[in-house]
Amino acid sequence: MSKENVLRVSDVTMQFGGVVAVNNFSMEVNKGEIIGLIGPNGAGKTTAFNCITGVYAPTNGRIDFMGETIVENHPSGKMKNLYKGENAGKYTKAIAPTPDKITKKGIARTFQNIRLFSSLSVFENVLIAKHLHAKQNIFTATFRLNRREEQRMREESMALLKEQGLDKFKDDVAGSLPYGLQRRLEIARALATDPKLLLLDEPAAGMNPQESDELMEFIRQIRDEYDLSIFLIEHHMQLVMGVCEHIYVLDYGIKIAEGNPEEIQNNPKVIEAYLGVDE
Amino acid sequence: MDFFRDNLPYILAGISVGGQYALIAIGYTMVYGILRLINFAHGDMFMIAGLMGVYAVTWMPLYLAIPFVIIFTVVLGFLIERAAYRPLRNAPRMSVMISAIGVSYLLQNLALYVTGGLTKTYPTIPWISNTVTVFGATTKVVTIVTPILTIALVVLLMILIHKTKIGMAMRAVSRDFETSRLMGIQIDSVISMTFIIGSFLAAVGSILYFSNYTGVMPTAGAMPGLKAFVAAVFGGIGSIPGAVIGAFIIGICENIIKGMGLTTFSDAFTFAFLIIILIVRPSGLFGEKNIDKV
Amino acid sequence: MTKQKKWLLSCIAIAAFLGVVFLLEQTIPKSSNWSMLFTVLEKGSIYALVAVSMNLVNGFTGLFSLGQAGFMLIGAYTYAIFTIPPDQRASVYQYFDGGIITFMLPAIPSIILAGIVAGFFAFLIGLPVLRLKSDYLAIASLGFAEILRAIFQWDKLGPITNGSNLLRKFTTYHTSLYPIIAAGICIAIIVLVINSSYGRAFKAIREDEIAAEAMGINLFKHKEMSFVISSFFAGIGGALLAMFQTTIQASVFRAALTYEFLLIVVIGGMGSVTGSIIASYLFIACREWWLRFLDSEQYIGDFKVPLLRAGFRNVVFSVVIMIIVLFFSRGIMGTNEFSWQGLGGLIRKIPTIPARLSRKFKKEAQVNE
């Protein structure tokens, strides 16, 4: 194993009340990889994403990023008795950062239903994402003592928009862009936070086959250009099979398979999960 | 037990005020449940009902004046919804809230204009203004009548909401405005009905409240209104039993605080109590928890 | 128009405005009807400052906060307490043996102190309150404002706050330019905040909290920042209001005062600074000046106009407000700001306004059918 590990999810369980949304899920992403997560609707894919990005604190389990433990939790309080998952005693710490802290460490994401700052301009959308790494405070920013920093943020944002082919829309209101460009802007905005790992939640949703082919190419391209690792959720099988090197399959919150695209395509459990079993 | 005996007059007063707050709070909580609107004008409706009571007895005998006040308030509530809230049905939520503040402003200024800013004495209503002695504490009959009447009205309201067709429509609309509209529910008539019920209860509340406190002035609605709203939030806004229980708790606590000689702080205490509850249980005592979907 | 040209134009306009105010102040006698103009300019500026500070939280950060009156109260009291001359304290604090403070500070440091104290209280109040969502935040912030009012009226604090009695004889200003310039500087600073990187972060929170957080914006920290800055300036607004009124009393700072500012912010347009400013002046001018004639009996020839007597002004005023709220629900400016081009465009458009209005009404009539 010479590959450098980026993300390691260990035994993550997310339980809401009595419902186990993700059960004992483990996975990893190595540097430069494009990893896919698939599964039928309601399988817990987005919940897994939300655990990694800090939207939810998992009920149990640990998440390491670049060799550092960023999230760890164990059942406590009321959950102690309710907990239905495994590995209950394995983890002891309770580390539950808010999403912004995780973004600061270098994990960026997009959303299933696009969440742009829709009444702000395209340029501002990207510029806002530059805020987190800027060396400034409210005083220097207000009295414009951070001119060089502000200049840098603007230049970098502009450069990013140009690279993504969005520069001609820079002054348009983000919400007025066509759907495909909104998706692209959301990715550009995520890239603006200088991530090492990019999580894409159904990037091809609502795209036609030709657009999703382009998207496949685009994903590979940003991986190389921005030196990223990418972890994506997708329903669009052609895209997942075409672009991912390794795929995890969730069903009812449980990981039922993993492997390269070919293995997944031929895995009877996966076929069963998607198509059901003949009685 | 000593605490109970020493504080009996305050507890009785508290139960009575609590009942009056409850009648106002229901109006807030129902409107909020359906329109997600803090109806800032509701407290002023209550004040207008009180003022109307003052004028009505000079125009007609008492047995006509009371129904007149109630009908007047209901019609006013209905008209306000028609004129000030319905045109903004598709506007941002904040606009409707501002419209409510505008109506509140208008009602207060109208009352100021009509009364000339003087405090009007509320008429004495026979029987409920008589004094009685309960467990050795002397009080007005209205103190005893209020909680009983309140609970009776709430029971009736619960039957209306859970057993009748319009009640079912109300529950559906408060669950999901858009879907109920698509299901063919006449949204506008449901909303009108909500305002009618709210105004009716506020009118009854005003008769009880002002019989106890006697003075009506243009700003008389502001504090009881705010307290009733706090009670609604306290109980979990949108929940009728929550609002009633919240109102009784607030009424009683407030009067005990007064009994302890901290009158300046009785209002402040209400809010402090609310803030603590909100921090511990952000959706109130009986409110439903909302989880943001990502 | 180039950037420098616009700057120049703005500077000239401001200087000209201040110059005109100065000249008018020298020439208009205090007894004339026109002296109301100064009331409008002074109070309007102070209201504009508070309205813009409220807009920062409500319009730009998207938090529904109703605590403005409370922070103004803190500012007004802080200012008044520290600027009553020591030899006057015995008469002001007559029920509290002259109070416990025996020194006074100059006006400007006191104004800044007023802001700092208000900001500090906002920081403390924000710790629990800003974790609440929308309407719950509104009612909790309103509640805190009411609590503050009760505390300031408390007898036990009388030696500092004079209990529920008036505070008076503190330092005031002598020219209308004072509040105009002070409010102007403060509004300029708020505009700088809004256009800074932090201002953009505030707007991101308004647009979508979850996305803002995913972009690395610490929600709580930024909300707290916006809340404290807003309260700092509300405190300064309170201090200026104290100077304008020359006496203050806690009972003025009721929830109703906060509602006034909310009305102004919405009438001006949520998220528009210039909207808030214009709405403030119009609000004050309309209420205090233009409608004043409605409060006294008027005759047209021998005909006595009915209804006119004390209080009618406010009834008409609230009707005007309702009409604006119902028919211009996006506010005067929407989320736009004043610009020289915009003004130029507006002037060119004036001849076409009747035609456009009739078209608009026709369209609305059709929609209503």
Share of chain B above pLDDT 70, in %: 96
**Res A70 pLDDT > 60:** yes
* A138 touches C198 (CB < 8 A): yes
User: How far is the alpha carbon of C369 from chain B, nearest alpha carbon, in Å?
Assistant: 13
Q: Tell which of C266, C287, C320 to mutate to test the B interface (max B CBs under 10 Å).
A: C266
Total domain count, chain C: 1
Token couple for C101: 């403070």
Q: In chain C, what residues touch A190 (CB-CB under 8 Å)?
A: 214
**Res C359 pLDDT > 80:** no
In chain B, which residue's Cα lies nearest the Cα of A47?
B294
Model confidence at C170, pLDDT cuts 50, 70, 90, reads very high
Share of chain C above pLDDT 70, in %: 95
Model confidence at A278, pLDDT cuts 50, 70, 90, reads low
Model confidence at A14, pLDDT cuts 50, 70, 90, reads very high
Share of chain C above pLDDT 90, in %: 51
**Res C366 pLDDT > 60:** yes
What does each C-alpha distance from C215 to A55, A69, A133, C210 come to in angstroms?
12, 21, 11, 9
Does residue C281 sit within a domain?
A: no
In chain C, which residue's Cα lies nearest the Cα of B284?
C136
Which amino acid, one-letter code, is at C237? G
**Res B138 pLDDT > 80:** no
Average pLDDT (A134-138) is 91
Does residue B270 sit within a domain?
A: yes
pLDDT at A153: 94
pTM of the model: 0.91
Does residue B290 sit within a domain?
A: no
Does residue B220 sit within a domain?
A: yes
User: How far is the alpha carbon of C208 from chain A, nearest alpha carbon, in Å?
Assistant: 6
**Res A2 pLDDT > 60:** no
Model confidence at C283, pLDDT cuts 50, 70, 90, reads very high
Give the count of alpha carbons within 13 A of A227, CB side only.
4
Residues 6+ apart with CB under 8 A from C13: none
- Is A86's Cβ below 8 Å from some Cβ in C? no
* B249 touches C158 (CB < 8 A): no
Q: In chain B, what residues touch C322 (CB-CB under 8 Å)?
A: 84, 99, 102-103, 106
- The secondary element (H helix, E strand) that includes residue C167 is strand C167-168
Which amino acid, one-letter code, is at C240? L
Model confidence at B286, pLDDT cuts 50, 70, 90, reads confident
Model confidence at A207, pLDDT cuts 50, 70, 90, reads confident
Residues 6+ apart with CB under 8 A from B277: B234, B284, B285
Does residue B285 sit within a domain?
A: no
Query: Residue C215 and residue A115: Cβ atoms within 8 Å?
Result: no
User: How far is the alpha carbon of B44 from chain C, nearest alpha carbon, in Å?
Assistant: 12
3-state helix, strand, coil in chain A (%, to 5): 40, 25, 35
Q: What average pLDDT does chain B have?
A: 87
Q: Where are the beta strands (DSSP E) in A115-267?
A: 197-201, 229-233, 246-251, 254-259
**Res A139 pLDDT > 60:** yes
Total domain count, chain B: 1
Average pLDDT (B7-25) is 89
In chain A, which residue's Cα lies nearest the Cα of C200?
A128
Q: Where are the beta strands (DSSP E) in chain B?
A: 120-121, 131-134, 137-140, 215-216
Model confidence at B294, pLDDT cuts 50, 70, 90, reads low
Query: Residue C147 and residue B105: Cβ atoms within 8 Å?
Result: no
- Is C254's Cβ below 8 Å from some Cβ in B? yes
Average pLDDT (B29-47) is 90
Does residue B293 sit within a domain?
A: no
* A30 touches A246 (CB < 8 A): no
Q: In chain B, what residues touch C330 (CB-CB under 8 Å)?
A: 95
**Domain coordinates of chain A in residue numbers?**
1-106+196-279, 115-194
Q: What average pLDDT does chain A have?
A: 90
In terms of residue numbers, what domain contains B167? Answer: 2-280
Does residue C363 sit within a domain?
A: no
Output the CATH code of domain A1-106+196-279.
3.40.50.300
Distance CA B178, CA B186 (A): 11
Residue C201 has φ and ψ, to the nearest 5°, of -65, -40
Q: Who among C189, C217, C220 is closest to A132 (CB)? A: C217
> CA angle, corner B203, sides to B200 and B205, nearest 5?
110
Using DSSP's 3-state secondary structure scheme, residue C60 falls into: helix
Query: Residue C214 and residue A132: Cβ atoms within 8 Å?
Result: no
User: How far is the alpha carbon of A110 from chain C, nearest alpha carbon, in Å?
Assistant: 8
Model confidence at C214, pLDDT cuts 50, 70, 90, reads very high
Q: Tell which of C136, C260, C330 to mutate to test the B interface (max B CBs under 10 Å).
A: C136
Does residue B288 sit within a domain?
A: no
Tens-place pLDDT, residues C225-255: 999 999 999 999 999 999 999 999 998 998 8
Does residue C218 sit within a domain?
A: yes
pLDDT at C211: 95
Does residue B110 sit within a domain?
A: yes
H and E: helices and strands count for chain B:
11, 4
Does residue B208 sit within a domain?
A: yes
Q: Tell which of C116, C189, C200 to mutate to test the A interface (max A CBs under 10 Å).
A: C200
In terms of residue numbers, what domain contains C169? Answer: 34-253
Distance CA B87, CA B135 (A): 53
Q: What average pLDDT does chain C have?
A: 88
Tens-place pLDDT, residues C82-114: 999 998 888 888 888 888 888 899 999 999 999
User: How far is the alpha carbon of B294 from chain A, nearest alpha carbon, in Å?
Assistant: 7
Q: In chain B, what residues touch C150 (CB-CB under 8 Å)?
A: 264-265, 267-268
DSSP string, C295-319: GS--EETTEEPTT-STTHHHHHHHH
DSSP string, B178-237: HHHHHTT--HHHHHHHHHHHHHHHHHHHHHHHHHHH-EE-TTTTHHHHHHHHHHHHHH-T
* B282 touches C139 (CB < 8 A): no
Using DSSP's 3-state secondary structure scheme, residue A112 falls into: coil
> CA angle, corner C22, sides to C21 and C26, nearest 5?
115
Q: In chain B, what residues touch A112 (CB-CB under 8 Å)?
A: 294
Average pLDDT (B166-174) is 89
Tens-place pLDDT, residues B211-256: 887 788 888 888 888 899 989 988 888 888 899 999 999 999 988 8
Q: In chain B, what residues touch A46 (CB-CB under 8 Å)?
A: 294
> CA angle, corner C28, sides to C22 and C32, nearest 5?
145
**Res C81 pLDDT > 90:** yes
Nearest in space to A271 (alpha carbons), one of A232, A237, A233: A237
pLDDT at B289: 58
Token couple for B85: 């809230």
Q: Tell which of B291, B293, B294 to mutate to test the A interface (max A CBs under 10 Å).
A: B294
Highest mean pLDDT among A175-179, B73-77, C31-35, C93-97: B73-77
Does residue C75 sit within a domain?
A: yes
In chain B, which residue's Cα lies nearest the Cα of C139?
B230
**Res C26 pLDDT > 90:** no
Q: Subunits with at least 3 CB pairs below 8 A relative to chain C? A: A, B
Q: In chain C, what residues touch A133 (CB-CB under 8 Å)?
A: 216
The CATH number covering residue B54 comes to 1.10.3470
ipTM of the shown complex: 0.91
Model confidence at B288, pLDDT cuts 50, 70, 90, reads low
Model confidence at C367, pLDDT cuts 50, 70, 90, reads low
Query: Residue A131 and residue C335: Cβ atoms within 8 Å?
Result: no
Using DSSP's 3-state secondary structure scheme, residue B35 falls into: helix
**Res B141 pLDDT > 70:** yes
**Res C297 pLDDT > 90:** no
pLDDT at B293: 55
Q: In chain C, what residues touch A120 (CB-CB under 8 Å)?
A: 200, 203-204, 207
Residue C66 has φ and ψ, to the nearest 5°, of -125, 40
Q: Who among A109, A131, A190 is closest to C200 (CB)? A: A131
Using DSSP's 3-state secondary structure scheme, residue A251 falls into: strand
B:275-294 residues touching chain A, CB 8 A cutoff: 294
Q: Who among A138, A143, A146 is closest to C225 (CB)? A: A138
Say how many CB pairs under 8 Å bridge A and C. 100
In chain B, which residue's Cα lies nearest the Cα of C127?
B279
Q: Tell which of A51, A56, A100, A112 to mutate to test the C interface (max C CBs under 10 Å).
A: A100
Query: Residue C335 and residue A119: Cβ atoms within 8 Å?
Result: yes
**Res C365 pLDDT > 70:** no
* B256 touches B14 (CB < 8 A): yes
Q: End-to-end distance of chain A based on CA atoms, in angstroms?
A: 43
Block residue for tokens 């009707």 = C319
Query: Residue B268 and residue C150: Cβ atoms within 8 Å?
Result: yes
Using DSSP's 3-state secondary structure scheme, residue A177 falls into: coil
Distance CA A187, CA A166 (A): 11
Pairing of strands C303-304, C167-168: unpaired
Q: Who among A98, A103, A141 is closest to C215 (CB)? A: A103
Distance CA B64, CA A44 (A): 65
